Amino acid sequence: MHTHDLITLVSLPMPYGKYQGRMLADLPGHYLNWFARHGFPAGELGRLLQLMHEIDHNGLKPLLAPLRATAPEARKPSTAR
């Protein structure tokens, strides 16, 4: 994990699915748990969803709050990794 990964969690919207458009850091735990059970997508998005799952599972979501104020504009996910 790198520092920029945490900033990405608060600035990257989910590109598809039920929670499309919601920042990765704001995805509900049950949705992240679903990915943990069924498999995370490949590439950067999957890696970030897995990181967010670990943060949520361990009750560390409040640690992302200070990053929200400094997060850059929402960006589109990279498809290559």
Chain centroid to Cα 73, Å, comes to 15
Chain centroid to Cα 4, Å, comes to 12
Structure confidence by residue, pLDDT tens digits, 12-64: 999 999 999 999 999 999 999 999 999 999 999 999 999 999 999 999 999 99
Residue pointed to by tokens 């509900």: 28
Chain centroid to Cα 36, Å, comes to 13
Would you list the domain boundaries of the chain? 3-68
3-state SS assignment for residue 46: helix
Cβ–Cβ < 8 Å for 34, 71: no
Q: How far is CA 13 from CA 29, 45, 72, in A?
A: 16, 10, 12
Confidence band for 69, pLDDT divided at 50, 70 and 90: confident
The structure's pTM equals 0.84
